[in-house]
Structure formats: structure tokens, C-alpha cells
Structure 1
Amino acid sequence: MAKTVTLDGPTLAWARGQFARYYAETAVAPPHRFARREFAAFPFSTETLMRRHEAFRTVEEFRAWLPREVPRHVYYSTAYYRKPSEPTMAAKEWLGADLIFDLDSDHLRGAEHLDYAGQLARVKVKLRELVDDFLFGDFGIDPAYTSLVFSGGRGYHVHVRNEAFLRLTSPERRELVDYLVGSGFDPRDAVTASSAGGPSSWTPSDASPDETGVPGRGPGKVRQLAPADAPGWKGRTTRAVLDLLAHWEAIGVDETAKEIAALGMGPVRAKRLARMFVEEGGSRRVRTSLSLDVFDKDLPKEFWDAVLARAAIRVEGETDAPVTTDIHRLIRLPRSLHGGTGFRVLPLTRETLEAFDPFRDAPLPSLVEERQRVTFTTAVEYPFPEGVRGTPGASEELLTPTALFLVLRGEAELPPSPG
């Protein structure tokens, strides 16, 4: 969980009041098999002390808990227990656990250079890849057993509830994560020797590698990338290589030479290769034939090593491994409020994900005329529908959910009370 901004005085009372009203007016649905789950929460008064081992036998008990406690953060166990309220894991008696994937902007390469809105947009792209390519694609998981959840903070959670995964151990779940991140996959395995007829005749080959580090030609053979629709990481690497080549065509020789040099080539050789790919049609020929033998001379081994390795990195599944492998994990409760943003933790489907906009859809429901004046403590700019931009020390009346978002992030505060 991200560091929670400490609130005090009137600001604490006001923020807690917004949460109290939400929980009083919203019948938050309990999760699947809730009576076998542990629940936990951080209260507003002691944000560093989690209250754990809560359990509920009825929907009424569960729904009474949130308005009574008004927690700042709410969690429930991905695991099912025979005795969820017991204070130790051994006493709880583990029965199984949902399979959970956590995509958080903290784990995305380059996310540190993006603002909050940019991070959320980037992680949404990664979520599509995780769900479509890996879970529904490679793993063959039925979408009916899968739910997507916006975390209310920096990313998304994917919940898989299926008997096939229920009793997987932590090491077994680790194997799934290893596959997602391509652990143990050599990107050169996406290159094979095939018949000269082209990509349509692709078959695996045991030809030994030649001086380029990829399978040798052999009699009547050419070295080819696996088909783009080949299953698993081979096809995924090919698609990334083709995207990279198309990218080089688009940016031209000079910029391509810089990128190739960054792969470890000397500047002279990088410029020559850039011309070969861009001006002499090499990229187009590779993309058309998938053959690595479209040039008069072999490309150096280090070039393909670097290109293929970069291709694998460009599509690497990025998920928080401890969340997936921890069979006792606590995860945010859907439709609860995130104490660092005031956003709702919203369940989504693969279909509703496309149009989902956190800044439009996740804030608290609010009447248009309900506003709150705040003073900005730092420069801010966010793509809320009303548009939010402020400088330190400036005051502005904002829609209450927007004001709550800024206050909880420590980027604004309530102005002093008059008198």
C-alpha cells in the first residue's frame, strides 16, 4: 500500500465525514463466499495500525460494519478459511485461495517519468495485455471466472475464481508468474530454421546455432522468426520484433542509428545497419518474410541478441509477484473507498474496461452543486471532467469528490475556519 497522508483536525473530520456518508448511503456487496474470508481495515484515526481478523456470518453483519467503523482502507482475504476470525494463520485453517494478479504503476518501466494520469493510462494497456494475451490466451482461463477491479489507487487487480487454481500452492503460483515475466525464455528461441517456402511452412528445427547465435541454415533452410500467431512467448517475441522494425521505419535513419547504437553497436556499424533497415528496405523484407536471411551479409550475433532481448522486455508481463504467490494475501474490497484518493475500488468487465476513465468514473457520486473550497499545497493538474489546475497557495472551489482526492493525496488542504 502506498504511504497514506496523515490528516488531522478539521481536515480529518471532513474527509472522514465524506467516507461516512458514502458508507451510510451505499450497500457495498460482500465478496464471493464472504463468510470464509478474513476482513481488515485501517481506521482514519490510526492509519498505521491495521485491524485484522474480522469475519461475518451474514450479509447484514457485513453491511453494518462499514458504516459503523468508517475505515480509510478496507481489505479482505483472497484466501478462504474454516475459521477466518482466528488470530493466527494456522488456527484459521486454510481452504484455498483465489488467484490474484496485481498490476501497479510502481512496477512499470518508465512510470517514474509519467504523471499520475499517465501512469494509470500505461497500466491499463498492460492490463489488456495480461488479460487478453496471457490469462484468456496462453492460460485459456474462461472470462466467466475472471473479474477486473480498479484498485482506486495506482492500478488494477485481476481475480480468478476457479476450482482449477483454488488450491495451488505458493510455489505453483510462482510458476505462473515466471511464465508471465518470461523467466527462463531465451528470445533467440523465437528464431528457427525453416523450409525456404516462407513463414507458412514454419516448423521447429534442431539445427545447431551458427555464428549469429540463432539456428543454422542447414540444407535448403532459412532462418526465420516464428509466426506472429505462434503460441506463447515465441509468437509474442516475433510480434515485438516486427513492431520494433516498423517503429524504426517510422523514425528514420538517424534516430534508428541512435537506438541501434544503444543496443551495443559502434556508431559506424549502427549507421550502416540503420540504412540497411530503413533506406534499403530491410525492415519491410523481414516483416514480410520473417526471414533473417534477407541481407547479403549476416547481421552480427550481438545485434540479434540485443534486438530479441529488447523485444522480450518490451512485452514482458509486469505483475506484482508477491501478490500472486501469497496464498494468505489481503486485497482491497471492491466498492470500498481508497483512503489515498477517495476513489471507489470499482469492479469492471473486459468490455467496460475500454471506456473506463478513473477520473470520471471512480470519484464519489456527487451532486453538481456540492463543492468545497481548498488551498493547494503544491502545483497540481489532473484530467477530471471539470479540469483541475492549481498553484501552491491558491484557493479554489472544487467539486467535493475532487477536493477529497487532493486532500487525501496531501496536495490541498481545507482553508482555516473564519475567526
Structure 2
Amino acid sequence: MAARFLEALFRNYYRGASLDVPEIERREVGYLAPDGVMVRHRSFKSAEELKSFCVERPPLGLYYSAALYERPDERDMDAKGWLGADLVFDIDGDHLDTPSCRGMELLNYRCLEDAREEALKLLDALRNELGLEGLPVYSGHRGFHVHVRSDEVRGLDAGERRRLVDFLVGRNLDLSKLEARVGRRVVKLYAEEPLGSLARLMRGLDDGSYSIRIDEVVTTDVHRLIRAPGSLNNKTGFAAIPLSYSDLDRDAESIVERALAFRKGEVSVRLKEPVGEVLGLEIGREEAVVPTYIAIYLYLQGKAELQIEGGRDVRGRRSYGG
């Protein structure tokens, strides 16, 4: 019953969703089916065709390839005809060794703030050190993605992407002269004239404390699938939303507020274990009536069962807050 309730919510969301998949006809599309099976090597001719598919068969998660292919639906990777790939970065609070993120199970705003700061540092470094414009996206969970879609980076192979990653995380750099290759362009940065975020880089390298903390495997993998902006996150039920630079300057709570797909109503839940505070809401009872987005989040996290009868949530006295 809960699965059908969730499917109905997801279907209704996708009816009004705007899916951001540029050059979709050249992208491999993958999705997480309701039974938890990952399906890959699909292709769609347009965003509208993809949207219709999501309404008809609502996926738990939706992904597309950073790479462009001649034949994106080929199952044999060598037969796809690789045409290049966007440069994609993933910053996940789960990978940050900060007091707010260390040992984190459920999402909290403090850890997401740490991830937001890393995303800002990355965007700053891409723009001011490498002359690249990144497009930030809130992942709908614990972190942020940054897409660079310029032709200049699409031809970079895995080794060249690895060297870019080394540069951004401050690995194996000569402090007297820094340079990085972006396609055919060599970017030279001199220690005696630090500009923009290079000054930040130099200070950090001097005391050994600086690093932009990214999931390096995501950036170096030229066949990577990344969550589609505009789609729902299968771990939270929140939307992955594209952000502007000014959006990213807002606090984490404001960003999550924009990503809430299911704002209306309340749902009864039975907790499988104590959860305490969830996104600023203290839940102090085994059975509670909570906002729909909290109920879906706890269900997808495996922390609660939805109390659903006849396809509708079981209402009761408001019981969250201790």
C-alpha cells in the first residue's frame, strides 16, 4: 500500500516537472525502478518523451550520462561511440570529515552547510583559476553537483581529468609555478601574483590545510551517470534542483525548502527506531503524524513505515514534537 501511495506521489510530481537534460538524444539514461533494480542504456529523443515515461512509470531515481554518444542505447560501452563528456563534480556531505558530517545518518542542515561551502569554493576555483563556468545543482540529499558543459572540457580523457582533479584538490603542485591544462589551453598561475581564489589556494597549500573535497571518481569517470536535475532523489523524495550562484549563497535550509516536492498534508508513520530531530523537527514518539515530506524521507531512509489504508494516509492527532 505504501509503495502505491509513493508511486502516486511521484507520478503527480513528474506531471509538472521540468527535467534538465541537455542534448538528451545523445545521452544514455538510467533509472532506478520501483523494485530497486537499476536499468541502464535507455535513450529518449526529447525531454518531453522522457517526462511522459516518468509519468507512466515513475522511477525512484533518474540519471543521465555525463557523456555524449552516437548510439546511447547500446549496451556495449565500446559500441556506443563516445563523443565526449561533460566535466561533473560531486560534493557529498557523507564524504566530508567535519564535526557536523562525521558519523551522520539522517540529513542535517549543519552538514549541508559544510557541503554548500565546498561547492562555493569549487565554483570559485573553476571560474577564477581555470576560466570555466560551473552549473551548480542541489542533489536532493546531502550535497551538490557541479556540471561544466563547455566544448573545451568534453574531449578530456580520464587521465587529463585526473590531473585537473589533482590541481583542484591541491595534490602534487609546485608552489613556485602552478599550471593546468584544459583541452588545448594551458592555464598558468604564478605564486607571486595570486588572484581570486588562487590566493585561497596558496594560503592553504602553505599550511597544508587546503583541499576542495570532491568525489574524485565521479569527475574522472568519462562514462558516469549523474542524477538528472529536476528529478526526485530516491533517498529523500526531495527534488534535485538547478541553482544559480545567488541561490547557492543562501543557507542550506533555504535550499532544502525549495527542493521539497511534497509540501501539502500530513502522513501517519510508525518509526522502526528512534530518530530524534529530522530537518529541525523533533519526533519523540514511535507513532507520529508528520508533514508528508518528512514521512516520505523517513520511509525512503528505511526509518519508518507509512500508515496507509485504502491509498490514503491515516490521520490522527498531531503527535510530533515530543
TM-score of the two chains, using structure 2 as the length reference: 0.83
Structure 2 Cα separation of the partners of residues 236 and 354 of structure 1: 18
Task: State the AA in 2 paired with 1:399.
Answer: P
**Matched residues in 2 for 1:42 and 1:90: separation?**
23
Pick aligned residue for 2:119 from 127, 130, 135: 127
Task: State the match for 2:50 in structure 1.
Answer: 62
Distance 1:389 1:238, change over 3 A: same
Most deviating of 166-175 and 177-186: 177-186
Shift of 1:379: 2.2
* Count of residues paired in the alignment: 291
- Residues 14-413 of structure 1: pairs in structure 2 closer than 5 A: 14-23=5-14, 25-45=15-35, 47=36, 49-110=37-98, 111-113=101-103, 116-117=107-108, 118-132=110-124, 134-141=125-132, 143=133, 146-185=134-173, 230-231=194-195, 235-236=199-200, 239-240=203-204, 308=206, 311-313=207-209, 315-355=210-250, 357-367=254-264, 370-377=265-272, 378-383=274-279, 387-391=280-284, 393=286, 395-413=287-305
Stretches of structure 1 lacking an aligned partner (at least 5 in a row): 1-9, 191-203, 205-225, 242-307
Checking the alignment, whether the CA contact within 8 Å between 2:19 and 2:231 is kept in structure 1 is no
Structure with a larger share of its residues in strand: 2
1:263-307 CA distance string (max 9 Å, x none):
xxxxxxxxxxxxxxxxxxxxxxxxxxxxxxxxxxxxxxxxxxxxx
Offset, 1:402: 1.9
Q: Separation in 1 of the partners of 2:117 and 2:135? A: 17
| Cα distance in 2 for residues equivalent to 1:416 and 1:235 | 56
Maintained 8 Å contact 1:101/1:323: yes
2:91 touches 2:144 (CA, 8 Å); kept in 1?
Answer: yes
**Is residue 77–residue 329 contact of structure 1 (8 Å, CA) maintained in 2?**
yes
Cα 1:52–1:129 change in 2 (3 A) is same
Does the 8 A contact of 2:17 with 2:231 survive in 1? no
Asked whether the equivalents of residues 63 and 225 of structure 2 are also in contact (C-alpha less than 8 Å), the reply is yes
The unaligned stretches of length 5 or more in structure 2 are 178-189, 311-322
Q: CA deviation at 1:232?
A: 8.6
Q: Find the aligned partners of 1:380 and 1:16 in 2 and give their Cα distance.
A: 27
| Residues 371 and 361 of structure 1: CA distance in aligned 2, closer, same or farther (over 3 Å) | same
Scaled by the length of structure 1, the TM-score of the pair is 0.64
Deviation at 1:371, TM superposition (A): 1.4
User: What is the deviation of 1:93?
Assistant: 0.2
Residue 185 of structure 1 and its aligned partner are, at CA, apart by: 3.0
* 1:13 corresponding residue in structure 2: 4
1:414 CA drift (Å): 1.8
Alpha-carbon distance in 2 for matches of 1:324, 1:150: 17
Report the structure, 1 or 2, having the larger helix content. Answer: 1
User: Is the 8 Å Cα contact of residues 28 and 41 (structure 2) preserved in structure 1?
Assistant: yes
Of all paired residues, the percent bearing the same amino acid is: 33
Secondary structure of the 2:152 match is helix
Q: 1:343 and 1:358 mapped to 2: Cα distance?
A: 11
